[in-house]
Amino acid sequence: MQLSIDQSTLLCRLLADASRQRILLLLEAEALSVAEITQITRLSQGRVSTHLSRLRAAGLVTDERVNNVRHFRANLGDPEDPATGLWQTLRARIDDQQAEFDREKAREAVRRRHAGTSWAETVAGRMERHYSPGRSWEANARALLGLVSLGDVLDIGSGDGVVPELLIERTRSMTCADISPTLLRAARSRLQNDPRARFLQCDMNALPLAPASFDQILLMHVLTYTLTPERVIANAARLLRPGGTLLIATLDKHEYGIAEETFDHVNQGMSPATLQGELERNELAVDWCDIACQEGRPPYFKVVVARACKRAGH
């Protein structure tokens, strides 16, 4: 089969990828499931699936179902096929230690599979990175909300209402406050049938609300949109009722321009120590204030989560 220049360029691009070459070498030795390939290569499950579907579309990989699990295998049968021919040419020259390690791990994975290791056992310690039917972060969050009971809630910088929609069932009232009419419109359409929802277009730096009127206040991923986060925190403290709770999620202090250039942030986050200082300055009792998680891809942003309560009598 002859190729046009465009087709041959696409083919070169397909194989000009270290992860795809690694996967092909791996699947020469053993037929493996996505979970096994993910476990062996430590690539994310999404990336493994994308690589496999591209290799499969080029005819370099086939799959078959074994006990309801799809197993993938390299398909190098037809040297007349352009993709196979090109890969075989490259393949004959590859001698790579990583590929050797991968193959050893693949043999181990197959041994475990045949020894009756369950799916859950194969992902022990990394289950949050793997798919299993129905077990999504959203499903877990919605289920765990059953443990939560809230009063009058104010979500400052509520965006298009994702968080209010999640919580509203558990509240007495939910006030969505945002500077953007577009986002408030989207929030309104998400929550339109719920009588507990209220909407307020305002600037978080000057909230037109009465002191001590909320039981819970949320500042979720909004403090990076103000030049005066300390003023926003002071205002939130003022709006809380005694015994009320302020919950904050924000970026840890960082130095990456992408947050400002692409996401319109106006400051570069706050360290847990600085945030804790601000909360205490406003006479809030800090339950916890720390790095809660770190993203798994560059530039590896860290998220600070804080929970603080307004003491009775303040």
Ligand X SMILES: C[S@@+](CC[C@H](N)C(=O)[O-])C[C@H]1O[C@@H](n2cnc3c(N)ncnc32)[C@H](O)[C@@H]1O
For residue 197, the surrounding DSSP H or E stretch is: strand 197-201
* Least distance from ligand X to the Cβ atom of residue 70, Å: 35
Give yes or no for a contact between 195 and 173, defined as CB atoms under 8 angstroms apart: no
152 vs 155, which CB is nearer to ligand X? Answer: 155
Are 61 and 75 within 8 A, CB to CB? yes
**DSSP letter assigned to residue 208:** -
How many whole angstroms separate alpha carbon 34 and alpha carbon 210? Answer: 54
Matching residue, tokens 């390690």: 101
Nearest partner of 90 among 34, 31, 11, judged by Cα: 11
In the chain, the amino acid numbered 180 is S
At 185, which helix (H) or strand (E)?
A: helix 181-191
Provide the minimum distance between the beta carbon of 88 and ligand X in the complex, in angstroms, as a whole number: 49
User: Min. distance of Cβ 148 from ligand X in angstroms?
Assistant: 17
Non-local CB neighbours of 156 within 8 Å, separated by 6+ positions: 177, 204, 207, 217, 218, 219, 222, 232, 236
Between residues 14 and 177, which has the closer beta carbon with respect to ligand X? Answer: 177
Crossing angle of helices 18-29 and 45-57, rounded to 10°:
80
* Nearer residue to ligand X within complex by CB, 60 or 248: 248
Measure the CA dihedral 247/199/169/291, to 10°: -20
Q: How far is the CB of 265 from ligand X (least distance, A)?
A: 9
Q: Supply the minimum distance, in Å, between the C-beta of residue 210 and ligand X.
A: 18
Based on CB atoms, which residue is closest to ligand X, 40 or 156? 156
* Amino acid, res. 45: Q
- Cα-to-chain-centroid distance, residue 89: 39
User: Nearest approach, Cβ of 128 to ligand X (angstroms)?
Assistant: 20
Q: Which is nearer to ligand X, 143 or 227 (CB)?
A: 227
Residue 99 or residue 179: which is nearer to ligand X going by CB? Answer: 179
How far apart (Å, rounded) are the C-alpha atoms in residues 296 and 173? 35
Q: Which amino acid is at 256?
A: Y
Q: Which is nearer to ligand X, 72 or 225 (CB)?
A: 225
Q: Which residue is nearest to ligand X (CB)?
A: 159
| Residues within the interface to ligand X (CB under 6 A) | 157-159, 162-163, 178-180, 183, 203-205, 220-222, 225-226
Closest distance of CB 295 from ligand X, Å: 15
User: C-beta of 253: minimal distance to ligand X in Å?
Assistant: 18
**Whose Cβ is closer to ligand X: residue 45's or residue 205's?**
205
